[in-house]
Amino acid sequence: MTLRNLLWILLVVVLIVWLVGLTGGVGNLVHLLLILALVILLYNLLVGPGPAV
């Protein structure tokens, strides 16, 4: 598993937890998770596709 795949998995997990947090009223944690997900997404978009393995 490459770092790129791991980041995409982390992005999906963070978004799911964020969506669950919206209904649970967790507060500021929701916003932190959203920012983390956006940073991961931007990183993946800026780096572009890596070499095929």
Q: Quick one: CA dihedral 28, 34, 37, 43, positive or negative?
A: negative
**What is residue 35's predicted lDDT score, i.e. its pLDDT?**
80
Q: What is the pTM of this model?
A: 0.50
What average pLDDT does this structure show over 3-32? 74
What average pLDDT does this structure show over 15-30? 69
Tell me the average pLDDT of the chain.
75
Question: What is the CA 46 to chain-centroid distance, rounded?
Answer: 14
Greatest CA span in the chain, whole angstroms? 42
The pLDDT tens digits for 34-50 are: 788 888 888 888 887 66
Provide the H-helix boundaries in the chain. Answer: 3-24, 28-47
What single-letter amino acid sits at 47? V
